[in-house]
Structure 1
Amino acid sequence: MDAFAATRLAAGVGFLVVAAASDLRSRRVRDPLWISLGTAGLMILAAQIAFKGLAWPAWLLLVSAAIMFYAIFFGEPLFGEDGFHARGIRIVLFLAAGALFLISVGSIRGGAGFEVLPQLASMPLLVLVYQGFHRLRLLHGGADAKGLIALTLLLPAYPDALPFPVLQADARVDALLRVVFPFSLVIWVDAAILSLAVPVALLIYNAARGDLALPQALLGYRAPLNPFPAHAWLMEKITARGEHVLVLFPRRGTDPSGDISRLRAAGVDRAWVTPQTPFMVPLLLGFLLAFFAGNLLVAVLGLAR
């Protein structure tokens, strides 16, 4: 494992341990942690470009990614709940980031110093991709998206961590995966696979309690309404027509007090709830798995050698 890989591993584990602890405690991870992690990633990349003699387009990709990254945390967004806002400085910065990206990608060629640049080109793109995942609810929390974006800057290319990872694809497939399947995406996939343990655990828990009603037994558990459990979303409600319904995927961030009052008025003392799973825990484990085991999806698809 080279020095840059070891530094990235230490930084990632350190920040993600703090994030996991915060997520377990309050189901929140504050922005300064992700800003610090992303900044650390940019600084490590700058050192790598300088000391390893990477080609000049790498600097343009770094600046492009930095603009996209810091725009998440600073300034007013272009799109709000009331529509589009033409913010001149922000538009100019985004255009500059796009221009730097296009210039750098157009300048990539074969030869010394260019080998890792196709992987670095994923940085600005993944900033947009993970925000899109959040809007599509593939990532449920803003911290999940911000964390993966920060990890993208920390690990913009596959680390040189030999003899790890254990699971490696065939050389030709591996070369392609390094470009089309960036390392932060490996972290997310590994974390998502680990997260599949949650519905299994819920099913076992509900079966032991005699609450084996499907499919809700895979998504939550029955809990008293008074007191309502912390870090959970209500899965049952009384509609305006007086119907008692089950909501398998309740809307996040809503105040359940009104629904709780209506359920209790209808004589319901216990209801199905779905836990607010602290994704930072599987993300930390996924980070370690990606480093030492590799891409679990490669193993599932039988591509590992």
Structure 2
Amino acid sequence: MLASMTVFAAVSAILVLAAVFDVRSREVPDLLWIVMLVIGATFGFSSGSLSEGLLSAVGYLMIAMFMFSPKVEGRMSGIVIIAFLTVMIACYWVSSDPSHLVSALMALIVIGLHFAGLVKGGADVKALVSLSMVYPVYAEFGCLIWQPVYPAGFVFNPVFSTLLFALLFSLLFMIPVVMRNSKKGDSSFNTYVLSINEARASLVWPVEDIREGHKVRIKPKDDSVSVYDRLEKAGETEVRVTPMVPFLLPVLVAFLIVMIAGSPLFMLI
């Protein structure tokens, strides 16, 4: 119990720091996620058999390589993910503990959501993948209101619940956008118009670009500077943008609620 609470305190502290970085600059040091993975690997190694602990440590190493190594790109990234999945299946085989499969599946789901453009920020993905490794199931303490029920708890696991409620909480950041637009007769829920100079100085993504001389809608992308340059070159002075939501703040709030009070999803059972 003490070890579990210590891990929770450390992970929570890391998420608090990450949320502060995210709110201030939308940039979060990778070191925070590396520390979280080290904490999780250490706890996992000490709480199971030697073979399970060693395999789990290798799994942590594989996912860390995928997220942080500059040499893991293209085909190599696919090889590392396959190796990670193989190791996590081996962990389940030697321990009969489904939590290893939950970790692997949630990590792959988060990575898939990132490539699909549904979870955009790199730090957001690294946070959720790291949490998937550390918390595939609920801690020994906590869940004071909604107790986990298994096997449903493997589906409504801490990271799935955290992601779902973080997405809901993130909608609160759109309230100022709606209020701003309502004053101008703009019905958009998540985008608004700024001068290009204002956009350059703001924490926003452009959702318009120039294609063949015409302004077109685009998905938010990281190369904002080149988009603004093209717009100005085409004679445009304004651009529609969407705010960079500091998603790690909703993640932090959702994680604390889910771990301390439990997941409200268990009310569905």
Query: Which among 165, 171, 192 is matched to residue 167 of structure 2?
Result: 192
Q: State yes or no: 1:176 paired with 2:151.
A: yes
Higher-Rg structure is 1
Determine helix, strand or coil for the equivalent of 1:219: coil
TM-score norm. by structure 2 comes to 0.84
- The aligned residue for residue 249 of structure 1 is 219
- The aligned residue for residue 32 of structure 1 is 31
1:132-151 mapped onto 2 (5 Å cutoff): 132-151=112-131
- The aligned residue for residue 259 of structure 1 is 230
- The aligned residue for residue 211 of structure 1 is 184
1:1-305 mapped onto 2 (5 Å cutoff): 2-47=1-46, 49=47, 54-55=48-49, 58-72=52-66, 73-74=68-69, 76-79=71-74, 84=75, 97-109=84-96, 117-162=97-142, 164-168=143-147, 174-207=149-182, 210-214=183-187, 217-228=188-199, 229-240=201-212, 242-245=213-216, 247=217, 249-255=219-225, 256-262=227-233, 265-266=235-236, 268=237, 270-299=238-267, 302-303=268-269
1:102 aligned partner, one-letter code: I
Instruction: Measure, in 1, the Cα distance between the counterparts of 2:125 and 2:102.
Output: 15
Contact 2:56 2:91 in 1 (8 A): no
TM-score norm. by structure 1 comes to 0.75
- Indicate the RMSD between aligned Cα atoms, in angstroms: 2.8
Determine helix, strand or coil for the equivalent of 1:196: helix
Change (3 A) 1:57 1:75: same
1:203 aligned partner, one-letter code: V
Instruction: Measure, in 2, the Cα distance between the counterparts of 1:191 and 1:140.
Output: 14
Instruction: Measure, in 2, the Cα distance between the counterparts of 1:188 and 1:18.
Output: 18
Shift in Å at residue 203 of structure 1? 1.2
Shift in Å at residue 297 of structure 1? 4.0
Q: Deviations over 1:116-155 (max 9, x none)?
A: x212332233333322221111210111111111112332
Change (3 A) 1:178 1:64: farther
Instruction: Measure, in 2, the Cα distance between the counterparts of 1:96 and 1:249.
Output: 32
Change (3 A) 1:206 1:70: same
2:35 aligned partner, one-letter code: S
Contact 1:190 1:295 in 2 (8 A): no
Determine helix, strand or coil for the equivalent of 2:205: strand
Determine helix, strand or coil for the equivalent of 1:226: helix
Unaligned stretches of 5+ in structure 2?
none
2:155 aligned partner, one-letter code: V
Unaligned stretches of 5+ in structure 1?
110-116
1:31 aligned partner, one-letter code: D
Contact 2:206 2:221 in 1 (8 A): no
Name segments (4+ residues, structure 1) moved above 6 Å: none
Instruction: Measure, in 2, the Cα distance between the counterparts of 1:293 and 1:131.
Output: 27
Contact 2:156 2:263 in 1 (8 A): no
Change (3 A) 1:211 1:235: farther
Contact 1:23 1:280 in 2 (8 A): yes
Number of residue equivalences: 266
Contact 1:64 1:96 in 2 (8 A): no
Q: Deviations over 1:268-304 (max 9, x none)?
A: 4x432211111111111111111123224445xx44x
Contact 2:19 2:252 in 1 (8 A): yes
2:224 aligned partner, one-letter code: T
Higher helix proportion: 2
